[in-house]
A and B are shown apart, each in its own frame.
Chain A
Amino acid sequence: MKDARRAALAALVCAVAAQGASPVLVRGAADTRALTILQSELQRNFQTLKQQPAPAYFISYTLHDQRSTRLVASFGAVDSNDESRNRFATVEVRVGDYDLDNTHPIRGDSRAMGPRVARVALPVTDDEQPIRLALWRATDRTFKQASEALTRVKTNVAAKVKEEDPAPDFSREDPQTYTGDTASYSLDVKAWEARLRRVSAPFAEDPLVFRSNVSLSVDSDNRYYTNSEGTQIVTGDVACRLFIQAVTKADDGMELPLYQSYFASSPSGLPDEKQLIADARSMMDMLARLRKAPLVDPFSGPAILSGRAAGVFFHEIFGHRVEANRQRNVDDGQTFGSKVGQPVLPAFLSVVFDPTLRKLGNVELMGHYLYDDEGVKARRVTVVDKGILKTFLVDRAPVKGFTRSNGHGRAEPGYVPVSRQSNLAVESSKSVSTEKLLDMLREEARKQGKPFGLLFDNIEGGFTNTGRGSANAFNVLPNIVFKIYTDPSRQPELVRGVDLIGTPLSAFAKIVATGEKVDIFNGICGAESGGVPVSASSPPLLVSEVEVQKKAQSQEPPPILPAPRQVEKS
């Protein structure tokens, strides 16, 4: 569905490695042979295609050279061991001119195809002829599609009402040249398999943990970008991700998942095996507690969102609504379309997006990059300053009033870049201690005549809908929730079975205060341009009113027979 844009931040994708057999990061001088081949083929095509009756005015080639290793173990045994190496290019051709080109949104036709790039497999070696051949064919195909699309665009512009926001289709940017080091890794697979067996083994002790695994993914991506405006960029990154997951079931059939993820770009930032096993053990304890935890009924009242939960809350309800491409689409909710210069959040809050930030404290941030996927230099963007909306996250598709990209055009390799989030950070000038925040929560509950408020301690992810076709709502999916009673002598009570829901504008208006300790959520955000790595960091938030609804629940009962090992022991 084109207009029901669901964008999800999945917790499922972060990572680590431990000391000892940590992946070794190798940085080499840039290998520019691939870039030279790309440039010469690009120029050859561009010189001809710009002379055509419907001329191409822009071509870009991006080559990704990727290698990945993925190891998975569960209950003490290795499940899979996959290794892959591939190289491919994406080709973008624009026909028309900067003001009106083939990517212009088609109005009133829900089936209209969005702009596309061609993705083509390339040899893994620098063999010039087969690479040029693949690029030439992909360029020709993309050019023909773009010419056809431009005809449809021109007809649509003539046939529909005058547009509210006649911003140009493509921004003019200064050409960039950057040659970073290419990256590769070497991994002691045997040692890592042994480590994953040991970290995954404890879960076998709990017969009620039905699914569990520990996985390590190490990916290197060397990216070569060039376009007809003269930009040439080479970057290399390695991402190591370790992920522990375990799922149990309550007696009523409700699945209770917990996830723990670690991310690092080099061995020094990763927890050791002892830490990983300790984390696995504490997940097991929490799963056992969750199985016994009572259900919460749908409720509206005050709540505290922990730093991680608040980060995802902001990513979903705020971040996706300041992506500029949504302001261009007439089917989009455009929550903030005309609110620049106006207050959109409480005055004690600022929101920045900073892809140049590698780390926050000791934690590496997944949303770090130097150049975006349109070859624009990354920069820190203050979107909200003391409650006032200043700008949007802009890619090279301008919106009214913002004619230049601010380095947020991003895509999963193979998709068309659009404006997406990077490292989101919520900054507050009204922070109070954790104790004080809990007191304020109790006070707010008393004022509303509620016996308790909720504390959302951890979350697995969330999603939102920014289209007009259905409710402009968000869901945040918590997996650890406590009831905080107004009577301070009552201990917080672990509960289960609810999701946090709401609508954006009313949710922002109800943020009352923030805590002090900033926490970070690293994850992969999925939307129209594929999955991109992002982070969201925030202090805990006190919200005077949230609503929770019942979680979707499996009707499958737990297994009939007990787990095999239990039988043997008895």
Chain B
Amino acid sequence: MRTTSASACLATLGLLLALSPAPHAQETPILSAMRDEMTRSMADLRMKGEPAPYYIEYEIDDISSMRAIARLGGVVDDVSDHSRTLRVQVRVGDYQFDSSRFVTQDRGAAGAVASATVPLDDHYDAIRREIWLATDTAYKRAVTVFAKKKAAFQNRAAADQIPRT
């Protein structure tokens, strides 16, 4: 038997939305931390000479599960678990051509997604700290992947030219 209850907080924010003030009242610390760090990242997260993020997505999954296994009348396993995981996606470029959908085999460039464990406590500062670090990692990956993708597509475009007669 396995029961899982998961509640996911999903926040996505485009450039335009980032400019409009978000409602503060009755927000959970999780959502506040997501919103504040996203606003800051959209505004300031930038490496010199590299594109800024145009899209950031955060997802925090709060997962509780319990599992019990019995064999021939005896309980052999009884496990319960509660965790919160964070998934961060950062895209650079624009909607037409960005850092996503490009597979490289280089170490440390496994797509522009970063994940982390966030506290079970609704602790604004501690959650925001994890979001900050994961966003930084995801942004650096996105910039790296974007450069490789651009280079690869330059070559591919030249190689794929079909001669017209």
Binary CB contact string for chain A from 197 to 213 against chain B (1 if under 8 A, 0 otherwise): 10000001000001000
Q: Which of B74, B119, B140 contacts A125 (CB 8 A)?
A: B74
Residue B132 at the chain A interface, CB threshold 8 Å: yes
> Are A74 and B126 CB-contacts (below 8 A) given A559-B132, A560-B136, A561-B136?
yes
* Closest residue of A by beta carbon distance from B131: A564
CA distance in complex: A82, B66 (Å): 11
B119–A79 CB distance below 8 A? yes
Query: Quick check: which of B7-15, B43-51, B91-99, B156-164 contacts chain A, the rest being far away?
Result: B43-51
| Residues 67-94 of A contacting B (Cβ, < 8 Å) | 73-87
Query: Quick check: which of A126-134, A296-304, A333-341 contacts chain B, the rest being far away?
Result: A126-134
Residue A122 at the chain B interface, CB threshold 8 Å: yes
Residue B80 at the chain A interface, CB threshold 8 Å: yes
B45 / chain A contacts, CB cutoff of 8 Å: 560-561
Residue B129 at the chain A interface, CB threshold 8 Å: yes
Residue B27 at the chain A interface, CB threshold 8 Å: no
| Residues 40-93 of B contacting A (Cβ, < 8 Å) | 40-41, 44-47, 70-83
> Are A563 and B76 CB-contacts (below 8 A) given A74-B119, A76-B123, A204-B125?
no
Binary CB contact string for chain A from 110 to 142 against chain B (1 if under 8 A, 0 otherwise): 000000000001111101011101100000000
A80–B76 CB distance below 8 A? no
CA distance in complex: A204, B121 (Å): 15
B136–A564 CB distance below 8 A? no
CA distance in complex: A73, B123 (Å): 11
B139 / chain A contacts, CB cutoff of 8 Å: 560
- Highest count of chain A CB atoms <10 Å: which of B41, B72, B77, B129: B129
CA distance in complex: A477, B146 (Å): 37
Q: Which of A80, A123, A559 contacts B71 (CB 8 A)?
A: A123
Q: Which of B40, B77, B120 contacts A567 (CB 8 A)?
A: B40
Shortest beta-carbon distance, B83 to chain A, in Å? 6
A564 / chain B contacts, CB cutoff of 8 Å: 36-37, 40, 125, 128-129, 132
Shortest beta-carbon distance, A38 to chain B, in Å? 15
> Are A80 and B117 CB-contacts (below 8 A) given A130-B72, A564-B129?
yes
B81–A77 CB distance below 8 A? no
Shortest beta-carbon distance, A113 to chain B, in Å? 27
Residue B103 at the chain A interface, CB threshold 8 Å: no
- Highest count of chain A CB atoms <10 Å: which of B40, B41, B47: B40
Q: Which of B41, B76, B123, B132 contacts A77 (CB 8 A)?
A: B123
A123–B127 CB distance below 8 A? no
Indicate the size class of the contact surface on chain B. Answer: 35 or more
A78 / chain B contacts, CB cutoff of 8 Å: 119-121
Shortest beta-carbon distance, A198 to chain B, in Å? 13
Residue B22 at the chain A interface, CB threshold 8 Å: no
A79 / chain B contacts, CB cutoff of 8 Å: 117-120
Shortest beta-carbon distance, A85 to chain B, in Å? 6
A204 / chain B contacts, CB cutoff of 8 Å: 125-126, 129
| Residues 106-134 of B contacting A (Cβ, < 8 Å) | 117-121, 123, 125-129, 132-133
A197–B72 CB distance below 8 A? no
A124 / chain B contacts, CB cutoff of 8 Å: 74-76, 78
Residue A400 at the chain B interface, CB threshold 8 Å: no
B120–A80 CB distance below 8 A? yes
CA distance in complex: A123, B78 (Å): 10
A77–B121 CB distance below 8 A? yes
Residue A565 at the chain B interface, CB threshold 8 Å: yes
* Closest residue of B by beta carbon distance from A124: B75
B40–A561 CB distance below 8 A? yes
CA distance in complex: A260, B117 (Å): 22
B129–A129 CB distance below 8 A? no
A76 / chain B contacts, CB cutoff of 8 Å: 123, 125-126
Residue A556 at the chain B interface, CB threshold 8 Å: yes
A122 / chain B contacts, CB cutoff of 8 Å: 74, 76
Query: 14 A–B contact pairs at CB < 8 A?
Result: A77-B123, A77-B127, A79-B117, A80-B82, A121-B76, A123-B71, A123-B73, A123-B74, A124-B78, A129-B72, A130-B74, A133-B72, A204-B125, A556-B140
Q: List 7 tightest A-B contacts by C-beta distance, closest first.
A: A123-B74, A77-B119, A77-B123, A77-B126, A127-B74, A130-B74, A77-B121
